[in-house]
């Protein structure tokens, strides 16, 4: 087996068998076996029952809330994250290192803390909530609040994927474009953006996937109303609390498939974007 | 004069890249900025292009002050050492870029753009590559694409930053000759930066030699080679044997002296030395051959003088070397065919033989 793989791979680098074995074992223990168990457990329901659970109004409403919120949040983060990455790579200013370190905070702090803080700030009595109330905008406990929580959770993904690519951009290429008469907007849209687009897609996919699975912060900032502001992970937890393990596993599998298909399509899109660059 | 540079200075922190540069670039000629690394030649080119701002001084384009003009308004074509092609665009898109980013009012139609790109592709001898991507081309081809891209916008001045620096020796030689032919065809005012004296002498109409942020000498390749203004220029334009010598009262030269008011420096090119087994005219210096290397039709010979033990490098013809073969290499005579004498009062004179 090992010999066969080595031959097929044609690689002269040592350690292929070792790393392949390790990767497979690691993936199996941490990803494939748990997820396989989940899928296996869900087969306890009949195909008809499976469909019935998925097509339930409350479940599909929750899917809509989860997918749309994660999508909008990831989309907003593309602009935000790109702007922050741009600022961190293009300019020198006092406190740059501190801001750079702050970016990763959403990774580190408990999501519940983030959710409670955001809920407090955006509630009718909160600092920002009061301000927005003047314009008759209510954010806390609405669908918008879910998006805001997911923006907070997801933006480091975009910054950290785009930043190194922006840093690696060849300054001479932009100088060449400007000597050819291009203004900044043209340089950005025709030269810089195509170069960072694959990285931006990766960041988008990561933020989006993270947003789909987010639970801790949302249950504090959302009103968690069925059909309105209830997300899929919360629905799964609710089913578990009602000892409906099969129902929970079915929704879990549906979510798994949904996330996998989305990530796969983004990967294909990325491959297409990379191919177009001819590299 | 197409470009006039006056009192230009540029510092990077503590490093003085350029100090008080005054230079005129003649219209329609190919000018070389020649100097060792760190001499400020690239900085000067970037200031001409508007990619770097000078600290002091002015840049004048065709009678118009351009010191603070943005690069995109200067109408300069810039060619980079590492090509700086747009990787995600086809060769066609690369060359068409400068035309496509023009405001709608002055933008040519798609048909005109296609025609122009095809014309440029045949000018740089790359027909048939329009749909390829930069990663599919060789270094020499990429640089020709970069040149076509720069020419597409019909620049008033073409600036090239070490355009052949990243290419291998053979391609470099071909491409620089080709650039010369191209220049003879289109007569576009061009400035190129190089650290290779051979390249500068071979390609340019005018050479500007820079060192430590200052211009050492300006002139045609012949002028600077035949009449170098100072020891730096002499040393930079080719290999050199340097001797400290004393001018004798009777007119001769004593090589071994290092003291006395008559101290002068004697500069001799390796190919201005001939080696013979006999001291026919009595002016030869006795030496022994320590090493030699055949370089095609020429031979580089290392010698040491018998008195004083000074190392001398000679570059002689293969025929001359073959004639020496039977002689005793331990005792030959060096004849100096030409040399420059640099006196302490900063004057040059030719060594009378």
Q: What is the pLDDT of residues A71-130, one digit of tens each?
A: 999 999 999 999 999 999 988 889 899 999 999 888 888 988 988 988 888 887 888 888
| Whole-number Å distance between alpha carbons of B206 and B228 | 14
Report the phi/psi class of residue B125: left, alpha or beta, with left for phi > 0 and alpha for psi in -120 to 50. Answer: left
**Cβ within 8 Å of A, B 153-192:** 153
Q: Which residues have CB under 8 Å from B284's CB, separation 6+?
A: B276, B333, B334, B335
Query: Which pLDDT score, from 0 to 100, does residue B345 have?
Result: 62
> For residue A1, is pLDDT > 50?
no
CA distance A192 to chain B (A): 10
Q: Is B48 on the interface with A (CB under 8 A)?
A: no
Confidence of residue A229 (pLDDT cuts 50, 70, 90): confident
Nearest neighbour of B98 by CB, restricted to A173, A181, A277? A181
Residue A143 CB: number of other CB atoms within 10 A? 18
Q: Is B309 on the interface with A (CB under 8 A)?
A: no
Confidence of residue B306 (pLDDT cuts 50, 70, 90): confident
- Two structure tokens written together for A11: 């690689």
Residue range B93-141, pLDDT digits in tens: 999 999 999 998 889 999 999 999 999 999 888 988 999 999 999 988 9
* DSSP H or E run through B33: strand B30-34
Enumerate helices (H) and strands (E) in chain A, giving the number of each: 16, 0
Mutate to test the interface with A, among B88, B146, B162, B165 (most CBs of A within 10 A): B88
Higher pLDDT, A142 or B145: B145
Contacts of B84 in chain A (CB under 8 A): 170, 172-173, 175-176
Enumerate helices (H) and strands (E) in chain B, giving the number of each: 9, 20
Q: Which residues pair with B76 in a beta bridge?
A: B157
Nearest neighbour of B87 by CB, restricted to A180, A190, A278? A278
Query: Which pLDDT score, from 0 to 100, does residue A11 have?
Result: 64
> For residue B298, is pLDDT > 60?
yes
Nearest-5° Cα angle at A227, A224 to A230 = 30
Residue range B71-103, pLDDT digits in tens: 888 889 999 999 999 988 999 999 999 999 999
Rounded average pLDDT over A194-210 = 90
| Whole-number Å distance between alpha carbons of A191 and B86 | 7
Residue range A133-160, pLDDT digits in tens: 888 777 778 888 899 999 999 989 999 9
> For residue B353, is pLDDT > 50?
no
> For residue A34, is pLDDT > 80?
yes
Distances (CA, A) of A41 to A26, A44, A50, B109, B308: 22, 6, 12, 64, 96
Mean pLDDT for chain B overall: 86
Query: Which pLDDT score, from 0 to 100, does residue A164 have?
Result: 93
Confidence of residue B251 (pLDDT cuts 50, 70, 90): low
| Whole-number Å distance between alpha carbons of B242 and B252 | 17
Nearest neighbour of B76 by CB, restricted to A173, A179, A277? A179
Query: Which pLDDT score, from 0 to 100, does residue B252 have?
Result: 55
Contacts of B70 in chain A (CB under 8 A): 178
Query: Which pLDDT score, from 0 to 100, does residue A10 have?
Result: 57
Contacts of A170 in chain B (CB under 8 A): 82, 84
Total residues found in chain B within this entry: 353
Residue range A265-276, pLDDT digits in tens: 888 888 887 766
Query: Which pLDDT score, from 0 to 100, does residue A82 have?
Result: 94
Query: Which pLDDT score, from 0 to 100, does residue A5 have?
Result: 47
Nearest neighbour of B80 by CB, restricted to A176, A190, A194? A176
| Whole-number Å distance between alpha carbons of A155 and A88 | 14
Rounded average pLDDT over B38-56 = 92
pTM of this structure: 0.79
Confidence of residue B349 (pLDDT cuts 50, 70, 90): low
User: In terms of C-beta density within 10 A (0-12 exposed, 13-18 middle, 19 or more buried), how is residue A30 classed?
Assistant: exposed
Residue A275 CB: number of other CB atoms within 10 A? 9
Residue range A63-77, pLDDT digits in tens: 999 999 999 999 999
Query: Which pLDDT score, from 0 to 100, does residue B48 have?
Result: 93
Q: Where are the beta strands (DSSP E) in A136-279?
A: none
Nearest neighbour of A178 by CB, restricted to B71, B133, B136? B71
Top CATH class of A38-278 equals: mainly alpha
Yes or no, beta carbons of B84 and A175 under 8 Å apart: yes
Domain ranges of chain A: 38-278
Nearest-5° Cα angle at B278, B273 to B284 = 45
**ipTM given for this complex:** 0.81
> For residue A3, is pLDDT > 60?
no
Query: Which pLDDT score, from 0 to 100, does residue B274 have?
Result: 87
> For residue A7, is pLDDT > 60?
no
Rounded average pLDDT over A229-236 = 90
């Amino acid at each position: 087996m090992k010999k066969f793989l080595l031959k097929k791979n044609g690689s002269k680098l040592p350690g292929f068998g070792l790393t392949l074995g390790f990767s497979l074992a690691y993936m199996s223990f941490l990803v494939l076996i748990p997820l396989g168990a989940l899928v296996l457990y869900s087969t306890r329901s009949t195909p008809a029952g499976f469909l019935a659970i998925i097509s339930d109004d409350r479940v599909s409403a929750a899917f809509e809330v989860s997918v749309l919120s994660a999508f909008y949040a990831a989309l907003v983060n593309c602009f935000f994250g790109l702007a922050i990455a741009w600022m961190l790579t293009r300019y020198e200013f006092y406190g740059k290192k501190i801001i750079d370190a702050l970016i990763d905070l959403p990774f580190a702090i408990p999501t519940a803390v983030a959710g409670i803080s955001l809920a407090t700030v955006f509630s009718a009595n909160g600092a920002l909530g009061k301000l927005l109330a003047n314009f008759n905008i209510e954010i806390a406990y609405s669908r918008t609040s879910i998006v805001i929580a997911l923006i907070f959770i997801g933006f480091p993904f975009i910054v950290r994927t785009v930043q190194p690519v922006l840093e690696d951009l060849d300054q001479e290429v932009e100088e060449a474009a400007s000597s050819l008469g291009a203004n900044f907007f043209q340089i950005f849209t025709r030269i810089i953006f195509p170069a960072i687009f694959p990285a931006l897609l990766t960041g988008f996919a990561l933020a989006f996937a993270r947003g789909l699975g987010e639970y801790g912060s949302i249950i504090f900032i959302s009103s968690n109303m069925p059909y309105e502001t209830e997300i899929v992970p919360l629905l799964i937890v609710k089913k578990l609390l009602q000892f409906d393990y099969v129902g929970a596993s079915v929704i879990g599998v549906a979510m798994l498939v949904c996330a996998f298909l989305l990530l796969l399509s983004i990967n294909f899109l990325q491959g297409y974007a990379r191919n177009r660059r001819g590299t | 004069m197409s470009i006039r540079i006056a009192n230009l200075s540029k510092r990077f922190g503590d490093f003085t890249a350029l100090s008080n540069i005054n230079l005129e670039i003649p219209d329609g000629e190919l000018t070389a900025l020649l100097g060792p690394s760190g001499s400020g030649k690239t900085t000067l080119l970037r200031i001409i292009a508007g990619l770097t701002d000078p600290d002091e001084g002015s840049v004048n384009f065709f009678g118009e002050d351009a010191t603070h003009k943005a690069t995109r308004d200067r109408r300069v074509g810039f060619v980079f050492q590492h090509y700086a092609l747009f990787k995600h665009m086809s060769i066609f898109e690369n060359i068409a870029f400068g035309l496509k980013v023009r405001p709608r009012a002055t933008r040519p139609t798609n048909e005109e753009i296609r025609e122009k790109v095809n014309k440029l592709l045949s000018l740089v001898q790359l027909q048939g590559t329009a749909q390829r991507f930069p990663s599919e081309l060789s270094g020499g081809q990429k640089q020709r694409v970069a040149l076509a891209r720069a020419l597409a916008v019909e620049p008033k001045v073409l600036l090239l930053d070490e355009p052949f620096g990243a290419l291998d020796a053979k391609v470099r030689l071909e491409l620089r000759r080709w650039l010369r032919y191209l220049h003879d065809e289109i007569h576009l005012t061009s400035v190129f930066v190089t650290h290779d004296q051979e390249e500068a002498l071979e390609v340019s109409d005018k050479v500007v030699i820079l060192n430590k942020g200052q211009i050492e000498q300006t002139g045609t390749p012949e002028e600077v080679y035949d009449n170098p203004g100072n020891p730096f220029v002499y040393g930079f334009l080719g290999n050199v044997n340097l001797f400290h010598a004393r001018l004798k009262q009777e007119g001769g030269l004593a090589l071994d002296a290092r003291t006395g008011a008559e101290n002068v420096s004697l500069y001799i090119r390796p190919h201005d030395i001939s080696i013979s087994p006999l001291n026919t005219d009595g002016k030869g210096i006795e030496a022994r051959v320590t090493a030699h290397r055949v370089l095609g039709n020429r031979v580089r010979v290392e010698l040491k003088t018998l008195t004083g033990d000074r190392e001398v490098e000679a570059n002689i013809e293969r025929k001359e070397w073959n004639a020496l073969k039977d002689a005793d290499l331990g005792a030959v005579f060096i004849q100096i065919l030409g040399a420059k004498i640099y006196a302490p009062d900063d004057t040059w004179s030719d060594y009378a033989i």
